[in-house]
Amino acid sequence: MSNKTITIDDIEVPFEEGQTIMDAALAAEIYIPHLCHKPGLSPHGSCKLCTVDVDGRAVSACTLPAAEGQRIDNNTPALNEVRKTITQMLFIEGNHLCPSCEKSGDCTLQAMAYHLGMLDGHFPQFYPQRELDASHPTLVLDRDRCILCELCVRASREYDGKDVFAISGRNTNRQLIVNSATGRLADSDIETDDMAAHICPVGAILIKDHGYEIPIGRRTFDLHSVAESDLGEIKLSNVRHHDE
Amino acid sequence: MSNNKNLRRIAVDPVTRVEGHGKITLLLDEQNHVREARFHIVEFRGFEKFIQGRPYWEVPYFVQRLCGICPVSHHLAAAKAVDQLVGVDALTPTSTKLRKLLHFGQTLQSHALHFFHLSSPDLLFGFGSNLEHRNIVGVIEDFPDLALKGVRLRKFGQQVIEVISGKRIHGAATVPGGMNKALTIEERDRLLADINDVLIWAQDAVALNEKIHTEHPENHGFARLNSNYLSMVGADGKLELYHGGLRASRPDGSKIFDQYDYRGYTHIIREEVRSWSYMKFPYLTELGRENGWYRVGPLARINNCDYISTALAEAARKRFVAFGNGGFVHDTLAYHWARMIEVLHSAESIHELLLDPEILGTDLVVKGEKREEGIGVIEAPRGTLFHHYTVNEDGTIKKANLIVSTTSNNQAMNESVRSVANEYLDGNEITEGLLNHLEVAIRAYDPCLSCATHALGKMPLEIELIDAAGEAIDRMSKASNGSIKRTL
């Protein structure tokens, strides 16, 4: 056990060499809001929700290694306000139709919005034109909901040992693409049991012919807040790397 | 504008609300008789278009957002179509009963809302009574017991919906080939605890409407139309709201068709598009475009059915039939009476279903072989509701066609408006009486726009009278606070 510590919101938190601030916080059951982070997959730092204040500097908790003596502000009104704004931008940049979405109640983005007290999109909707790919016999790729967190990209590479997804394009043209000759999911090597098929936090990748099977009141975020859910999550302790 | 240059034009135009309202244009001839009434639907929803390309299992959840008052109807009609898409023609007995229970809860709450919250002020205070008092608040002040019963009836219907779908509005209940949740004993008992009160309130509601209609002869001819009727009936001709065959009748009660499998609806119903309204005009193919219009909803169903399976509602129906001397009742305001008979039938049916041991079953989903086409039809509170979908090989929606209940009553509403306008239009003058009576005529049909336009008796309107030369000769507007002023 290491004697090294950091301080998060005035609480002293131990850490091991090599851990990020996020790793140390989760181990100490301190919740730092996040969407693109999943224990067991390499940190990505793209959603910026885990932005914390380290000795006066704004950084991503999921990518910055913990270092002895760091003083970190996390659960502050100012930071949560910024996180709410980021969440609003994620909503308006895609087409998130919660009322009819089968992921409603199980969606981490939606749960995050509730967690941060988001009541509207604030910004004008982008209404981007995005393509739905239903070519695969058992999976649907609905880009309307994609928040470009790259969890599927990393799960496919690092856990499934494949390379099915990537992000392509710049700025508002960024989108999730499929690594196949035709660009269609049907022509990729993704399979129903792959982690990449199940990891999407917002329902951009879904199992076909299923939906709305869990009654209202028993869905993930009917039972737990996003903080409870992420802290209680079973960590992917036996992550296989495709090069192992 | 009218194509006929000899006609004057009067427009009744809501000015502030952005959805759920209509606009009325009256086309006059030289003698100031209303030759044609056009009830424009100026809102455009576009559901049929934007569900194209979406996965088929999403559809019941998408389309229930069409409405906040009867979302369950759209949910169930679409779910019935989706059952067919996954090759399921019959659900498990428990799932069928759960869906029926959900549907009866929906019919009960929607009908109660319409009568007590929207229409009772007109019927209790009179069509031309003080606007500031002619609303639900006025009903609460003058008839507190009645208002409370109305609120509680609706609440019970919503509780039924909540128990089955998880929410009072826009819940989640159906999955392809079944339902997503069994009913627990505790949930059933919670509903049973209130059912006796609900049955009493429903009987009172029927008695009140029966009294209002039979004791006001002036109401009988108001907006009355000798029309054809379309509704679903059970296998033996009983009143059926969830699943059955289609029956259409002529005004004299003779049948145009009966026990028609609704999956062939395109052979018996066509839809005409007219340039001045977003709402289509369906008609019975056999009778043609001119004469094939028909009415749907409570009046159509109570006229069309041979009997009602529950005792109290059947007794009420028999009194209704006696009022019509054994023939059909064509009085437009009898819609309200028929609606309350259905409230009673819904309450009795909910009671029966809750006492049925199968309602607690846990066998909820049936699987089948996928098909390319699914058609679901249901008797929604406002009438026969058609949902028709075809899917691509990848499971996305290729095409959708919806004939919603209010659409079927489109021509009938125009005819009723024309009839009332002829009676109350006074020369070149737009009067408050005309305004009030037009609203009452439209509201009898409980069109799905009524909720948004008259929730508290504050429907904003503008009426404009334009002569044959195109000059505005009179204009009157009613603000949302109920004040009326001439603005020309």
Q: Which residue of A has its CA nearest to B61?
A: A100
Q: Taking 90 as the threshold, does the pLDDT of residue B302 lie above it?
A: yes
B134 — pLDDT class (breaks 50, 70, 90): confident
Amino acid B150: pLDDT: 92
What is the rounded distance in angstroms from the CA atom of residue B484 to the CA atom of residue B478? 4
Considering the domain architecture, whether residues A139 and A27 belong to the same structural domain is answered as no
* Amino acid identity for residue B467 in this structure: D
What is the rounded distance in angstroms from the CA atom of residue A101 to the CA atom of residue B64? 12
Specify the higher pLDDT residue, B116 or B309. B309
B68 — pLDDT class (breaks 50, 70, 90): confident
Tokens of B437: 């009576």
What is the rounded distance in angstroms from the CA atom of residue A201 to the CA atom of residue A151? 8
What is the rounded distance in angstroms from the CA atom of residue B98 to the CA atom of residue B80? 13
Q: Taking 70 as the threshold, does the pLDDT of residue A233 lie above it?
A: no
Q: Are A216 and B172 a contacting pair at CB < 8 A? A: yes
Answer yes or no: is A201 within a domain: yes
Specify the higher pLDDT residue, B278 or B379. B379
Q: Are A213 and B180 a contacting pair at CB < 8 A? A: yes
A95 — pLDDT class (breaks 50, 70, 90): very high
Number of independent structural domains in chain A = 2
Of B268, B404, B269, B249, give the one whose Cα is nearest residue B330: B249
Average pLDDT over residues A122-129: 94
B462 — pLDDT class (breaks 50, 70, 90): low
B424 — pLDDT class (breaks 50, 70, 90): confident
Amino acid B50: pLDDT: 83
- H/E stretch holding B256: strand B255-260
Answer yes or no: is A129 within a domain: yes
Q: Mean pLDDT, chain B, as a whole number? A: 87
Q: Taking 90 as the threshold, does the pLDDT of residue B126 lie above it?
A: no
Average pLDDT over residues B302-321: 98
* Amino acid identity for residue A229 in this structure: S
Lowest mean pLDDT among B152-161, B421-430, B435-444, B455-464: B455-464
Domain enclosing residue A59, as ranges: 5-75
Q: Are B171 and A216 a contacting pair at CB < 8 A? A: yes
Amino acid B475: pLDDT: 65
Q: Are B61 and A208 a contacting pair at CB < 8 A? A: no
Domain CATH number, residue A179: 3.30.70.20
* Amino acid identity for residue A189 in this structure: D
Amino acid A232: pLDDT: 75
Q: Are B62 and A211 a contacting pair at CB < 8 A? A: no
* Beta strand residue intervals within A22-162, DSSP E: 51-54, 57-60, 71-73, 132-133, 139-142
For chain A, percent of residues with pLDDT exceeding 90: 90
* Amino acid identity for residue B9 in this structure: R
Answer yes or no: is A141 within a domain: yes
Q: Taking 60 as the threshold, does the pLDDT of residue A130 lie above it?
A: yes
Considering the domain architecture, whether residues A111 and A215 belong to the same structural domain is answered as yes
A215 — pLDDT class (breaks 50, 70, 90): very high
Considering the domain architecture, whether residues A112 and A203 belong to the same structural domain is answered as yes
Average pLDDT over residues B212-230: 94
The CA-atom distances, in angstroms, between A69 and each of A2, A7, A8 are 13, 7, 10
Q: Which one of A216, A218, A222, A223 would you mutate to disrupt binding with B, by most B Cβ within 10 Å of its Cβ?
A: A216
Domain CATH number, residue A71: 3.10.20.740
Q: Taking 50 as the threshold, does the pLDDT of residue B399 lie above it?
A: yes
B163 — pLDDT class (breaks 50, 70, 90): very high
Nearest beta carbon to residue A217 from set B53, B166, B395 = B166
- The HSE-up count of residue B477 (CA atoms within 13 Å, CB side) is 11
Q: Are A211 and B57 a contacting pair at CB < 8 A? A: yes
Amino acid B33: pLDDT: 75
Average pLDDT over residues A187-195: 97
B61 Cα to chain A: minimum distance (Å):
5
Q: Are B61 and A102 a contacting pair at CB < 8 A? A: yes
B36 — pLDDT class (breaks 50, 70, 90): confident
Considering the domain architecture, whether residues A134 and A200 belong to the same structural domain is answered as yes
Amino acid A176: pLDDT: 97
- The HSE-up count of residue B150 (CA atoms within 13 Å, CB side) is 24
Domain boundaries, given as residue ranges, for chain B: 8-45+409-486
What is the rounded distance in angstroms from the CA atom of residue B240 to the CA atom of residue B100? 10
Q: Taking 50 as the threshold, does the pLDDT of residue B310 lie above it?
A: yes
What is the rounded distance in angstroms from the CA atom of residue B375 to the CA atom of residue B261? 10
Nearest beta carbon to residue A99 from set B57, B170, B174 = B170
Amino acid B119: pLDDT: 85
Q: Which chain A residues contact residue B65 at CB under 8 A?
A: 99-100
Amino acid B43: pLDDT: 54
Average pLDDT over residues B258-263: 98
Q: Taking 80 as the threshold, does the pLDDT of residue B132 lie above it?
A: no
Q: Taking 90 as the threshold, does the pLDDT of residue A165 lie above it?
A: yes
Backbone angle region of B404, left / alpha / beta, with phi > 0 → left and psi within -120 to 50 → alpha: beta
Backbone angles phi, psi at B57, to 5 degrees: -75, -10
Q: Which residue of B has its CA nearest to A140?
A: B55
Considering the domain architecture, whether residues A108 and A39 belong to the same structural domain is answered as no
Amino acid A239: pLDDT: 34
A159 Cα to chain B: minimum distance (Å):
28
Q: Taking 50 as the threshold, does the pLDDT of residue B425 lie above it?
A: yes
Handedness of CA A191, A194, A196, A201 (dihedral sign): positive
Amino acid B120: pLDDT: 87
Q: Which residue of A has its CA nearest to B370?
A: A209
Q: Taking 50 as the threshold, does the pLDDT of residue B221 lie above it?
A: yes
For chain B, percent of residues with pLDDT exceeding 70: 85
Q: Taking 60 as the threshold, does the pLDDT of residue A240 lie above it?
A: no
Cβ atoms within 10 Å of B320's Cβ, excluding its own: 22
Q: Are B176 and A135 a contacting pair at CB < 8 A? A: no
Amino acid B480: pLDDT: 58
What is the rounded distance in angstroms from the CA atom of residue B181 to the CA atom of residue B178? 9
Average pLDDT over residues B305-324: 98
Specify the higher pLDDT residue, B416 or A35. A35
Nearest beta carbon to residue B395 from set A209, A213, A215 = A209
Interface residues on B facing A, Cβ-Cβ cutoff 8 A = 53-55, 57-58, 61-62, 64-65, 86, 165-167, 170-172, 174-176, 180-181, 392, 394-396
Amino acid B135: pLDDT: 78
Contact B353, B100 (CB under 8 A): yes
Tokens of A22: 């996020």
Cβ atoms within 10 Å of A12's Cβ, excluding its own: 9
Amino acid B31: pLDDT: 74
Please report the number of interchain residue pairs, chain A to chain B, with beta-carbon separation below 8 angstroms.
55
The model's pLDDT over A54-81, given as tens digits with 9 standing for 90+, comes to 999 999 999 999 999 999 999 999 999 9
B457 — pLDDT class (breaks 50, 70, 90): very low
- H/E stretch holding A56: none
Q: Which chain B residues contact residue A217 at CB under 8 A?
A: 166
Considering the domain architecture, whether residues A115 and A199 belong to the same structural domain is answered as yes
The model's pLDDT over B83-96, given as tens digits with 9 standing for 90+, comes to 999 999 999 999 99
Q: Taking 70 as the threshold, does the pLDDT of residue A182 lie above it?
A: yes
What is the rounded distance in angstroms from the CA atom of residue B112 to the CA atom of residue B236? 28
Q: Mean pLDDT, chain A, as a whole number? A: 92
Q: Which one of B50, B54, B174, B362 would you mutate to disrupt binding with A, by most A Cβ within 10 Å of its Cβ?
A: B54
Q: Which residue of B has its CA nearest to A138?
A: B394
Q: Taking 70 as the threshold, does the pLDDT of residue B17 lie above it?
A: no
Average pLDDT over residues A175-182: 96
What is the rounded distance in angstroms from the CA atom of residue B477 to the CA atom of residue B488? 10
What is the rounded distance in angstroms from the CA atom of residue B320 to the CA atom of residue B226? 17
B482 — pLDDT class (breaks 50, 70, 90): low
Q: Taking 50 as the threshold, does the pLDDT of residue A238 lie above it?
A: no
The CA-atom distances, in angstroms, between A83 and each of A44, A109, B6, B480 are 17, 12, 65, 41
Q: Which residue of A has its CA nearest to B171?
A: A216
* Amino acid identity for residue A134 in this structure: A
Q: Are A216 and B58 a contacting pair at CB < 8 A? A: no
Q: Which one of A140, A212, A214, A222 would you mutate to disrupt binding with B, by most B Cβ within 10 Å of its Cβ?
A: A212
Q: Taking 50 as the threshold, does the pLDDT of residue B1 lie above it?
A: no
Amino acid A148: pLDDT: 96
Burial classification of residue B325, based on how many CB atoms lie within 10 Å of its CB (0-12 exposed, 13-18 middle, 19 or more buried): exposed
